[in-house]
Structure 1
Amino acid sequence: MSPNLKIENVIVYKRRPLLEDDNKGFLTPLLSVTEDGELQYIDKSDYPSDIFVSQAYQSIDKAYAEHEPFLLSVHFRDDEKTESVGEKRYWTDGKHAKSLPAGYLIPVVNTILPPAESSRLPSGLKAPKTPFFIKDGQQGSLFGLFMATDEGENGQLLEPRSSNALNYASHAVAKFDHNEVRDSLVELSINGVLKIFVSTLKHLSQHTYETYDYMSNSKLITYFNGMQAGKKNTFLSKREADKLKQGIAQFERQNLNIKGSPHLDRLKTVLDEYLAATDTGHQIVRDYFESSKGKIFLEDYVAKNKDALLSDQISKIEEDAKKQETEAKRRIEQIEAQIAKKQSELKTVGDEVTQARRDAEVTIQIIKEETEVTRRENLKELESELQAGIEKLEQQRDEIADDVASRLQTLQLVEQVEDLNTEIRVLEREITKRKGENEELNKARKSVEDTLKHSDLAAKVGEMAVVSRVLKGGSVTSNESSKFKPLQFASEKPSSATEVVDSVRSHLDEDYGKTFSDVEMANLLLSTTQSFLTVLAGPPGVGKTSSVVRLADGLQLGDSSNDKNFLYMPVARGWVSGRDILGFYNSLNNSYQRARTGLYDFLNNPVDETNDSLRLVLLDEANLSPMEHYWSDFIGMCDKEGRHRPIVTGRPEKGSDLLKVARNVRFVATINHDATTERLSPRLIDRVPIISLDNDDSSKNDFATGLKLNGALNYDLFEKYFTTEDAELSSVLEDKLNTIINLLGERDPALGQPVSISHRKVAAITEYFGAAMDGNLMDATTAFDFALSQHILPHIEGYGSKFRVRVEKLQSEIGSSYTRSSRHLERILASGNDMTGTYSFF
């Protein structure tokens, strides 16, 4: 940073720390302190982004409460960043934060002044920890200064606080007429809460005030003790209180000038109430036994009457001991009987073991005495049994092998049928195409015959050219490259990413289509710029297609006439390869036959100063055919390392054999999920963000400025505002992402099948988050929420109660802070219940 302007003595409050680094944060300025000590309001428009604290924000966070103003002795204007972003930017160091000088910004608490006898604030009211004033609306007065002492469950106790600027007794406070001191009060909004302060005690002391006595009962006793009216003790037994009462009567007779004092009258009332409520007998007995004579009396009494006092207790102890002795003898007899029984069982088992050993010795002897012939016969019989078992197993093996072969043959037939069906679909399309050309050829033939009957030779030659082209295998039309119109570029460039978002929103808000909030539009522009392909998913009728067409129109890229930088390409069922969307080289007539989509000419149109903006291709109803088949030439371009790989066209001409896709080309695909569509492959999901659109417009309660683009934007601006280099997640969010990835990929049978998340997804989330933060397009929580819902959750695909446990653990880990991801997980779990235990994002 290079500060050019040093600014001193500004009163601020802490706004918030950075999510990714809580040692940095922002302070909001309130007032400036002039050289003569006066306070002046600060124009908030001079600080559009508050004051950035580059370090030591944690020390500020610990030192000052949430709504507490404090002094910032020095901060600086950053002229370099002010010039680059177009608005004033300021910074400071946390070490420059200081406490307010004494007598500045004294808080005012709005409540009824409690009676002096109790001096307790109402329950639920939390007073400041610093000196403060009380504004009593019923009396129309301002009282102070006070300090509040916290006494736990008993609430807070008010005590007068002396001040050098205000002259009153230590047991009193100043009382001002509220209407007369309004010029000494300031109202400040701190973190959305309106608070009232006395600007300075110096300014307040210039107004007229009266001394207001405010002495509690407990202070009253201390006050008169200090005047030698009784013992100096605020905690009195009844006897001491009675003595104090007698002392006060004598004190009153000796000091006639204090007779009739309101303090003295209050003290006598307090003592009468105290004496009436105290248990005199209990106090007298307790005081006696705590004295030295009482202790000696108690010890002598116990010594003389020990036998009588303890006889009953000793008898009870002896009786309990006899019962325990009887119970112990009974337990010993039971244990001895159990031991005898076990010894008998052990002897029986020993006899059985001895007999078994003898039987085994006899059996061994019999086996030894068998003849060699007997052993051979036994072995032959055993061998015969084993051979029969082997033959039976071999028969089972052959039966299983035959069954496997039969099933493999059936499976091969199924695969062949699928291949044949694909070939049939291709041939049917070719037949339909040839039929159309045949009809055109017949018309041309008839036209030639008619022409030959007339003398218009030029027209005849032109039509014969069509016939010749068709006979060579070409198309009826000339199939020349489409002509594209130049773009009109904006006369004024937006100065920030937020201005681009606002301009596009302004355009979309006018046509009564689907509405987008600022963060939703920012998400659409971020995803489209960063990803070669962006997928929009949602139910029919939600506005997927129209939103892309309106986005292209709002960016001044063109419309569905396909003659500028926008190509509307409806996908047809039955597309199986790149020739369906690009075309193919026909070697019979040595020409490249373009597909009807117009994509080849759109991509082949060179980039120059007339069209160097975003080029947008809309694949409408993209999953009517398998995208990984017809879009296979482009899937590799979703990775940065394959982004500039050319497409082989098959054309023999040098320079036309390869089709290069320009850096400013982006695809947007709209998809539905029903029985008529194809599922997206995991390979494709791993490479693209999937944005879910719904009909919920409840969050679109903010409004755009209405300033629209008057032309297209150069593509370099898209990369400047919606991409970033060297992006990083904060340590907190990086740990959060790793936890989520590990939870999904954990190989635990109790959690069902795992879900793998690749490194390219981590890189995509990091780049998305970094660009969103650099452009101030959304807060960190919202950016991370969008990234999770579009890059991680679409991978969820599994079944069974165990997989449901995995999804529920993921839901618990993500929590309710990330609202979009949380809603998706709730939908996945609910649909899993309805779909017999199948849990899928789609």
Structure 2
Amino acid sequence: MMNIYQKYYEQYYLEINAVEIETGEGVSEKMDDLTIKQKLSQIKNYIKAQGFTYPDNLIENFYLSLKTKPFVLLAGISGTGKTKLVQLFAEAIGCTSENERFKLISVKLDWNDSADLLGYSNISGDFQTGPILETIKKASNDLDNPYLVCLDEMNLARVEYYFSDFLSKMETRYFEDNRIKTDKILSKNEFDARDNTDALSKYGNLYLPDNLYIIGTVNMDETTQPFSKKVLDRANTIEFNQIELTAFLEEDYDNLKVENLKLSNEFLKTNYLKLKDLLPEKKEKITEITEELKELNKILKKANLQVGYRIRDEINFYLIEALDKNLMNKTTAFDTEILQKVLPRIQGSSLIIKKVLVELFKFFAGKDYSTENGQFADKMWKYYETNKDEIKYSKSAEKIVYMLRRYEEDSFTSYWL
């Protein structure tokens, strides 16, 4: 019997024969003519062909997160394939270390300033470039192609110390002649006045180009640093907690020899920077999304955890992209964004945190436990297990149960279990 992936593989190439270049160039040269779903299917096949299997919709989620904003966090325990996902996704769209469009940077424990990442003037007055600066410069001179940077083990050092300048510059993004630009990433003060005329000329006018995408991998354990809301508010946090040790045995790798693609920056480039960019065309969808987020905020406000305008906008961007490209339905996309943009901000030991968790479960699953006394996370879990196929926001409800269970066991909880 033909393996399902082999069958899909053959069907896929039958579909894309129509878009091959008549001069004989391979289909990987003409991938921008395919739909987003076809491109993502090819990317998934490429990743599987390398021997890595990820949960359903993870690649779509990763794509939508990058499309919404060029800064994404991949969180979870060590060894779950976070760094490998970034590398293989980059390879699948034509970004490799060989063509210098993929850069892996290992964060050092002693990083405490943006100079550790961007560069600094040494004691002799010579400018020493940081590990990311040349990639930024190269990307700025090659705007049609995407560049991916993976900050590996990003929270070994305090992220706010060495990455704050990036976060601030990212918030200055604006459109100019159909390109997205930011304020300059280095000021004249970064260059010693003695002998750095060349360095100032070479790097002084750099900004964060719209073809640069930064992905941080983070391990949440006793060796790493926690994240502040400043960081969490500016990223989609994708958690790696689904581990299927035998999933690779189900793949027919012999029939998944797929070429990597050659995609332009249009594939990942952000379309929206402000909510007004979606008006008036998407007003009805924005209203629906924002009204539901408003109801969620009423619960969060009780613990002073309500989301602000930035999160509102980026949740809207994510959902609009997901719906327009037919990658997820509204409920699944909203559930995913709650999990990635809202719940990571919740932590604490006060009684109000427990009350908020209980009310959030009611919002997600439709079951009210506010009249229960004592410990009831196990009851909540049984309800979830029995009804998860009917629960509206299933992923968020499941996470709330884990967070409540930790609260009952430790009198403290957070998203990072």
Residue 658 of structure 1 aligns with which residue?
205
Q: Are residue 631 (structure 1) and residue 166 (structure 2) matched? A: no
Residue 109 of structure 2 aligns with which residue?
573
Equivalent runs, 1:337-376 vs 2, <5 Å: none
Is the 2:229–2:345 Cα contact (8 Å) retained in structure 1?
A: yes
Equivalent runs, 1:654-693 vs 2, <5 Å: 655-656=201-202, 657-693=204-240
Mind listing any 5+ residue stretches in structure 2 that lack a counterpart? 1-18, 20-26, 175-180, 366-390
> Displacement of 1:624 after TM fit?
0.3
Residue 11 of structure 1 aligns with which residue?
none
**CA separation of 1:492 and 1:762: change in aligned 2, threshold 3 A:** closer
**CA separation of 1:719 and 1:740: change in aligned 2, threshold 3 A:** same
Name which of 381, 392, 408 aligns with 1:833: 408
Is the 1:722–1:772 Cα contact (8 Å) retained in structure 2?
A: no
**CA separation of 1:825 and 1:494: change in aligned 2, threshold 3 A:** farther
**CA separation of 1:736 and 1:711: change in aligned 2, threshold 3 A:** closer
Structure (1/2) with the larger strand percentage = 1
Q: Are residue 509 (structure 1) and residue 65 (structure 2) matched? A: no
Is the 1:624–1:676 Cα contact (8 Å) retained in structure 2?
A: yes
**CA separation of 1:710 and 1:803: change in aligned 2, threshold 3 A:** closer
Counterparts of 1:555 and 1:722, CA distance in 2: 22
Counterparts of 2:252 and 2:328, CA distance in 1: 16
Letter of the structure 1 residue corresponding to residue 157 of structure 2: S
Name which of 742, 746, 760 aligns with 2:298: 742
Counterparts of 2:354 and 2:83, CA distance in 1: 33
Residue 95 of structure 2 aligns with which residue?
557
Counterparts of 1:564 and 1:628, CA distance in 2: 27
Name which of 344, 349, 357 aligns with 1:807: 357
> Displacement of 1:697 after TM fit?
4.8
Is the 1:623–1:671 Cα contact (8 Å) retained in structure 2?
A: yes
Counterparts of 1:784 and 1:802, CA distance in 2: 25
- Secondary structure of the equivalent of 1:658? coil
Name which of 134, 145, 150 aligns with 1:601: 134
- Secondary structure of the equivalent of 1:719? coil
Give deviations 1:282-313, integer Å, cap 9, x for gaps: xxxxxxxxxxxxxxxxxxxxxxxxxxxxxxxx
Counterparts of 1:806 and 1:575, CA distance in 2: 36
- Secondary structure of the equivalent of 1:493? helix
Counterparts of 1:703 and 1:550, CA distance in 2: 18
Counterparts of 1:544 and 1:797, CA distance in 2: 24
Give deviations 1:401-420, integer Å, cap 9, x for gaps: xxxxxxxxxxxxxxxxxxxx
> Displacement of 1:514 after TM fit?
3.4
Give deviations 1:354-412, integer Å, cap 9, x for gaps: xxxxxxxxxxxxxxxxxxxxxxxxxxxxxxxxxxxxxxxxxxxxxxxxxxxxxxxxxxx
TM-score (norm 2): 0.74
Give deviations 1:76-131, integer Å, cap 9, x for gaps: xxxxxxxxxx9xxxxxxxxxxxxxxxxxxxxxxxxxxxxxxxxxxxxxxxxxxxxx
Name which of 820, 826, 831 aligns with 2:395: 820
**CA separation of 1:545 and 1:581: change in aligned 2, threshold 3 A:** same
**CA separation of 1:733 and 1:534: change in aligned 2, threshold 3 A:** same
Residue 3 of structure 2 aligns with which residue?
none
| TM-align CA RMSD | 3.0
Equivalent runs, 1:642-657 vs 2, <5 Å: 644-648=182-186, 649-650=190-191, 651-653=196-198, 655-656=201-202, 657=204
Counterparts of 2:270 and 2:413, CA distance in 1: 39
Residue 377 of structure 2 aligns with which residue?
none
Counterparts of 1:777 and 1:703, CA distance in 2: 25
> Displacement of 1:707 after TM fit?
8.5
- Secondary structure of the equivalent of 2:74? strand
Look at both structures and tell me which one has the larger radius of gyration over its CA atoms.
Answer: 1
Name which of 316, 321, 341 aligns with 1:791: 341
RCO comparison, higher one (Cα < 8 Å, 6+): 2
Letter of the structure 2 residue corresponding to residue 569 of structure 1: I
Counterparts of 1:830 and 1:638, CA distance in 2: 37
Give deviations 1:308-329, integer Å, cap 9, x for gaps: xxxxxxxxxxxxxxxxxxxxxx
Counterparts of 1:702 and 1:813, CA distance in 2: 38
Is the 1:664–1:715 Cα contact (8 Å) retained in structure 2?
A: yes
Residue 78 of structure 2 aligns with which residue?
540
Mind listing any 5+ residue stretches in structure 1 that lack a counterpart? 1-85, 87-487, 747-752
Number of residues paired by the alignment?
Answer: 341
- Secondary structure of the equivalent of 1:667? strand
Is the 1:514–1:547 Cα contact (8 Å) retained in structure 2?
A: no
TM-score (norm 1): 0.38
> Displacement of 1:794 after TM fit?
1.0
Name which of 123, 127, 146 aligns with 1:592: 127
